[in-house]
Each structure stands twice: as C-alpha cells, then as structure tokens.
Amino acid sequence: MVSRVIPVDPFDLVIFGGTGDLARRKILPGLFRRFIAGQMPPEARIIGAARTDMDSAGYREMIAGAIDEFGGIDTPPAGTLDAFLAQLEYVTIDAKGEAGWAELQELMKGTGRVEAYYFSVAPSLFGDLAERLQHWGMADVDARIVVEKPFGRDLATAKALNGTLAKYFNEDQIYRIDHYLGKETVQNLMAVRFGNMLFEPLWNAQYVDHIQITVAETVGVGGRGEYYDKSGAMRDMVQNHLMQLLCLIAMEPPARFDPDAVRDEKLKVIRALDPVLPHHIMRGQYEAEAGQEGTHPSYREAVGDPRSKTESFIALKTQISNWRWSGTPFYLRTGKRMAARSSEISVVFKETPHSIFGPDAGQHRNVLSIRLQPNEGITLGVTIKEPGPGGMRLIDVPLDMTFAEALDDDAEHVDAYERLIMDVIRGNQTLFMRGDEVEAAWAWTDPIIHGWEARGEVPKPYDSGSNGTTDSHELMRRDGREWRKVSL
Ligand code: BG6
C-alpha cells in the first residue's frame, strides 16, 4: 500500500537547542525523512539556533553526521541529503541575552511563510525565549511555538509555565508535545474505537471487567540519571504518556476529529479520575543485572545516590467516576529494565453471564489487546471449541491483526516526531496537549506524589529483566485478576 504524501505549506522552522540531543536524534533525521517522502517543500527552511559558536556550513556538517548516525536510512536517494542540507541555516544565539537575536530577526523578516519555533531546550528557558521572540517582533499571531516535556513538575510549576507562555502567545499558537500522541498505533486507537460499530456498544462498565495499560522498557536510566532522579516514573511517564493513553481509551466519542472536540473529551476523563489510594500504588527501583553489574548497574548506582527514593517502576489502580466507567478499574504500569520493550493496552471483557457448557469448560474472557510497540497491531482473544472429539472443551485463540502483515511492509513508517512537526506546520493541534489538560493531569498526580513524600515511602527493589515489583502482582491478585505477560 503506497501512502499519499501531501506537501505542507512552505515554512521556516527555528529549532532552539538545534545542536542538542533531541534535535540530532529525532527532529532533524525526522525532517530529512519527510524531505525524502516529498512532504517538505523546497522553499522551507530549518534554522538551528543554539549557544555553540558555529556557522551554517558547520551546522550542515553536524546534521549530516546526525542523520548518518540516527536517521535509520541506509542509502538516501541520490542528491537528497545535499538538497536537504541546503535548506538548513544556523544562528548562534543566547536565550538569556541579546546575542544572535538581530540576526534571527533578519532571517525571519517578512517571509510570508509559516513560522514555527521549536523550544528544544530546558523548560527554565521557555519564558526567556518567548519574551525575546516578542521583543524582536517574531511572536505575531500566526507564529507557532512547540514545547517539549517536561511541562512543569507539579501543578504550580505547570500553571506558572502556562501563565508565562500566555503572556506572549495564544493557546492556539502553543503546541505541547507528548510524543506518544504521534505514534501510529495510538492514533489507530481512535480509528478502532470510533471507526467501527463493533466495539463501542461494549465499551463500558457493563461489559468491560478492567483495562490494563503497560508501557515496559528494557533500557535503564542510562546517562539521564540527573534528570530522571528528580522525576521518576510518575512524572516522566504516567502524568503524560500513560495518562494520554488512558484518555484515548476511556473518552466519550468526540463530535468531530478536531483539536478542541478531542481535547475537551480527554479533559473530562482526567477530571473524572478518582484520587489513587495509597495501597493502590506500588513503586519500585531496579536492581543490577546479575552478572552484568558493571554495564547494567542498579538504579541507585546509575543515578549516583545510594539513598534515592525515586521510582523507576510504578503500578497503580484507578477508577473513572462517570456513567460509562463506574465499576471498571484501570490498572497502569510502567518501568525501566523490565523483561521486554512492550507497550500494550488490554481491554479485558467480562465473562459470559452464564456458561451453558458446564464447569469443565472453564472461565473465558475476551481480551482486546492493542499493541503500541513493537509489532504494532490488535489482537482479539476469542473463545472457541477445542477441535477434536471428546466433548465440549473451550479454548481461547487470538484473532490477530499485526499491522505490518495486514498492510504490507511498504506502508510508510512515520516516526512520532515527524508526524507531530508536520502537524505543527499544518496548524493542527489535535495531537498536542492543551494547557488545561496538562494542569488537570498534574492536579491528579500531585496528591499521589505528596502522599508518598509525606509518608517517607521508599520504592521496593525489583530484578532487572523482570515484570516489576512483587507487590505490583499482589495489586492485581487481590482483585482476582492478573497482569498480562510483558513479552515481545
Ligand atoms: C520519554 C521518557 O518521554 O519517553 C523516557 O522521558 C522514555 O524516559 C521514553 O524512555 C519512552 O518513549 P518510547 O517512544 O521509546 O516509548
């Protein structure tokens, strides 16, 4: 299946932090892939802006290296790399001072193109950048700014950040990134729910026993220990990525697939979430990998604090208090150094009200599993008769739809960042978080974090390569349920 690529309007994209990790690993290689796909018009310009003293030629060389290292493209079609690099410029700039701003202003003057400014820098610089953009006449009503997570570390800081940005930009100019919303299967979740008649009538507490969301990673905190130890899994993953998945799986059908209709419905879900009880949340820290302590140290060693109380794993149970979901628990789990890299949402349906097949048939539940990564796809567990003679024995078999197989492998793989940047240029905010959504998510998260801080709770250890802490399994078992296996 060949995908249709519609070029976006000509644009100027300024990337503050243009020499940083995210720019080199994700943003620029992603833009190059869009260039190859024919989505980037030849008039478009990408302007890297950072403190490093460098000229445009030096920047092009740096980005060529980054594309080679992180682009995932074996041999780019002839001439494409040079043509792409020719669209790149660089400005040495001081986010907190005056250096470089006149030059940037000159570059951006009256181009008549879409203007976007990507803040790929520490959140402490967001205010400085926004203020200077306005001061230098670059914050006109058509300009867009893109901001990365973390968006605050609690409700107060998120509100302050929203307040600062609102001084210079309207909400419809602000694109808050949660890269999970740019993942193909995450969008497919909406297509499956709202494009099929099959599921929606069953999508409620009457038929759904519970829903589990697992985002398991095999990586540890690596070189990000300093950032991570101040965040932990709750702030790094649950408040944003898992919360977004929860919203998409639980929200009411929006009237239209447009930014505010979708975000209004997500906001209602977050606001209907019950507070999490202390015994419904388990935290863990990974231990060193047996036999590989040097390369795979424990969490505390990796962050260099033998007394760290930050969690690298979390499992929790929550409820949504509304008509659709009252009585259906939602279990969320995420962690580093787990058994496999696997993100999955499972909708576990209730058993049939009465089994006509007698006690030997066993208990069976349909499970709809939406695998976000890897092997994106959807599986529906269906109960059938075990083939052969000997009576009526029931077994569960998967109706499996792995997207790569169902859709041919030449279906284009678009990375989350590529998709989201193109949406910024198109002016489509559907897959970006609105300010009130982020604040509502923090309002739910804050009391949980304050609770364990006040109680001085220490995360429990769990083995590297496992499925998390022992008590996270208890959380399920005492409800008569179990986590789905974390596997590829
Ligand atoms: C980031 C977190 O937002 O998401 C990381 O800061 C995490 O800690 C990453 O590893 C996971 O993203 P993905 O796309 O690899 O699932």
**450 catalytic per annotation:** no
Helix (H, G, I), strand (E, B) or coil at 52: coil
List, as residue ranges, the binding site for substrate: 179, 183, 217, 236, 336
- Predicted local confidence at residue 72, as pLDDT: 86
DSSP H helical ranges for 280-392 = 299-303
Q: C-alpha 236: how far from its chain's center?
A: 10
- Predicted local confidence at residue 258, as pLDDT: 93
Percentage with pLDDT > 70 across the chain = 98
Query: Are 332 and 283 in contact, with CB atoms under 8 Å apart?
Result: no
List, as residue ranges, the binding site for NADP(+): 17-24, 51, 149
Helix (H, G, I), strand (E, B) or coil at 89: strand
Distance CA 249, CA 189 (A): 7
- At 26-68, the pLDDT tens digits run 999 999 999 999 999 999 999 999 999 999 999 999 999 999 9
Q: Where are the domains of the chain?
A: 11-148, 181-477
Q: Which atom of ligand 1 is nearest the CA belonging to 224?
A: 8
Both tokens assigned to 357: 């097949």
* Cα of 241 from ligand 1 centre, angstroms: 9
Edge-to-edge strands of the sheet including 330-335?
394-402, 377-385, 367-373, 342-349, 208-216, 330-335, 313-318, 281-286, 460-462
From 241, 280, 296, 364, active-site residue: 241
Which of the 8 DSSP states describes residue 135?
H
Residue 229 Cβ contacting ligand 1 at under 6 Å: no
Query: Are 301 and 288 in contact, with CB atoms under 8 Å apart?
Result: yes
Contacts of 232 (CB under 8 A, 6+ apart): 283, 310, 311, 312, 314
**Average per-residue pLDDT in the chain?**
93
The sign of the dihedral angle between the CA atoms of 237, 239, 241, 246 is positive
Going by pLDDT thresholds of 50, 70 and 90, the confidence category of residue 410 is low
Residues 11-148: name the CATH superfamily. Answer: NAD(P)-binding Rossmann-like Domain (3.40.50.720)
Q: Which atom of ligand 1 is nearest the CA belonging to 372?
A: 16
Closest residue (by CA) to atom 13 of ligand 1?
180
- Predicted local confidence at residue 293, as pLDDT: 82
* Cα of 240 from ligand 1 centre, angstroms: 11
Distance CA 32, CA 38 (A): 10
Query: Are 470 and 321 in contact, with CB atoms under 8 Å apart?
Result: no
* Cα of 215 from ligand 1 centre, angstroms: 9
- Count CA within 13 A, CB hemisphere, residue 334: 19
Place of tokens 């943003």: 27
- Count CA within 13 A, CB hemisphere, residue 2: 3
Going by pLDDT thresholds of 50, 70 and 90, the confidence category of residue 408 is low
Element (H, E) at 12: strand 11-16
Tell whether the model's pLDDT for residue 184 goes beyond 90: no
Residue 115 Cβ contacting ligand 1 at under 6 Å: no
* Cα of 106 from ligand 1 centre, angstroms: 37
Which residue in 100, 13, 85 sits closest to 51, CA to CA? 100
- Predicted local confidence at residue 283, as pLDDT: 98
Helix (H, G, I), strand (E, B) or coil at 440: helix
The two beta strands, 174-176 and 144-147, are: parallel
Residues 181-477: name the CATH superfamily. Answer: Dihydrodipicolinate Reductase; domain 2 (3.30.360.10)
Residue 236 Cβ contacting ligand 1 at under 6 Å: yes
Residue 217 Cβ contacting ligand 1 at under 6 Å: yes
Vertex 393: Cα angle to 390 and 396 (nearest 5)? 140
Q: Which residue would you say has higher pLDDT here, 263 or 356?
A: 263
Ligand 1 pocket test target in 151, 179, 345 with most atoms within 8 Å of CB: 179
